[in-house]
Amino acid sequence: MGKTIEAIALQRGHDIVLKIDVGNMADMTEASLRRADVAIEFTSPHSAFDNVMKCLSAGTPLVCGSTGWLDKLSIAEQYCREHNGSFLYASNFSIGVNIFFEINKRLAELMNPHPGYTVGMVEIHHTQKLDAPSGTAVTLAEQIIERVDRTANWTYQPTTDPTLIPIVSKRIDPAPGIHTVTWTSDIDTIEITHTAHNRQGFATGAVLAAEFVSGKKGIFSMKNVLGL
């Protein structure tokens, strides 16, 4: 993702003033971060929160796409508010996926009065993806829970409890990302699927998000970027 984001940012006329990976973490200082108009953070669940807080502490507007650390998201958002920062988190930056989110919400609203349907989800990613289920799958599940009265939570385990949304994760190369939401009854099945063909959509969306938050203050989402 980092290499793809860099390539797209350069194509769009931006300069890359700092690149951080596991080999040069010591270079991630407040002084170096302040050289940037905006930072884009795509790492792993165990490092994302610390990276986010370093950027916010430096006052650098931040776009974050790391998943698997959302138990601490509210802490980062509160810190951003208290320090008048700029922060945009998204579980998925693809324009297509964010439209898919809107379709998922509408379908959930339509299914709410029909208790004969149960819902489940399958997500497939490449083997380098470290967290499971994916942040996109969790977002889809949470959208359904907010709109379907008979659902209460999601689970990563097989279940027969109709109040739980089961999420099945598969790691298969070279799949960049497939998400399917399935509503099943005794009569029929309704499925909606988003399939990513490559990482270009995710990276382009992240750069668009960075362009959006640069120079702004507040907490934003891809809905703000895309005007959804």
Task: For 181, list phi and psi in degrees, rounded to 5.
Answer: -110, 125
Structure tokens at 186: 């005794």
- Residues pairing with 41 in the sheet: 64
pLDDT band at 9 (very low <50, low <70, confident <90, very high): very high
Average pLDDT of the residues in 12-22: 94
Which strand ranges, in their side-by-side order, compose the sheet holding 39-41? 39-41, 62-64, 86-89, 218-220
In terms of DSSP bridges, do strands 118-125 and 86-89 run parallel, antiparallel, or are they unpaired? Answer: unpaired
First to last CA, the chain: 24
pLDDT band at 59 (very low <50, low <70, confident <90, very high): very high
Give yes or no: 125 in active site: yes
Judge whether residue 189 has pLDDT over 90: yes
Question: Where do runs of H (alpha helix) occur along the chain?
Answer: 2-11, 30-33, 48-58, 73-82, 95-111, 135-147, 200-213, 222-226
- Choosing from 54, 125, 179, 194, the catalytic residue is 125
pLDDT band at 52 (very low <50, low <70, confident <90, very high): very high
Asked: is 2-93+200-226 a CATH 3.30.1330.200 domain? The reply is: no
Residue spans of the domains in the chain: they are: 2-93+200-226, 95-195
Q: What is the pLDDT of residue 128?
A: 77
Residue in 98, 57, 95 with CA at minimum distance from that of residue 76? 57
Q: What is the pLDDT of residue 7?
A: 94
Q: What is the pLDDT of residue 131?
A: 73
What CATH topology corresponds to 95-195?
Dihydrodipicolinate Reductase; domain 2 (3.30.360)
What percent of the chain is helix, strand and coil (3-state, nearest 5)? 40, 20, 40
pLDDT band at 129 (very low <50, low <70, confident <90, very high): confident
Structure tokens at 91: 């579980």
Q: What is the pLDDT of residue 84?
A: 96
In terms of DSSP bridges, do strands 86-89 and 39-41 run parallel, antiparallel, or are they unpaired? Answer: unpaired
- Choosing from 54, 129, 179, 194, the catalytic residue is 129
The CA-atom distances, in angstroms, between 179 and each of 32, 52, 123, 142, 194 are 37, 27, 5, 14, 5
- CA distance linking residue 62 with residue 126, whole number of Å: 26
Judge whether residue 29 has pLDDT over 90: yes
What's the alpha-carbon Rg for the chain, to the nearest Å?
18
Give yes or no: 129 in active site: yes
Q: What is the pLDDT of residue 72?
A: 96
pLDDT band at 58 (very low <50, low <70, confident <90, very high): very high
Higher pLDDT, residue 16 or 201 = 16
- CA distance linking residue 203 with residue 194, whole number of Å: 17
Task: Answer yes or no: same fold for 2-93+200-226 and 95-195.
Answer: no
Amino acid at 22: V
Higher pLDDT, residue 74 or 228 = 74
Contact in structure between 16 and 23 (CB atoms under 8 Å)? no
Judge whether residue 92 has pLDDT over 90: no
Looking at residue 197, what DSSP letter applies?
S
Q: What is the pLDDT of residue 199?
A: 79
Lowest-pLDDT range of 65-69, 85-89, 181-185: 65-69
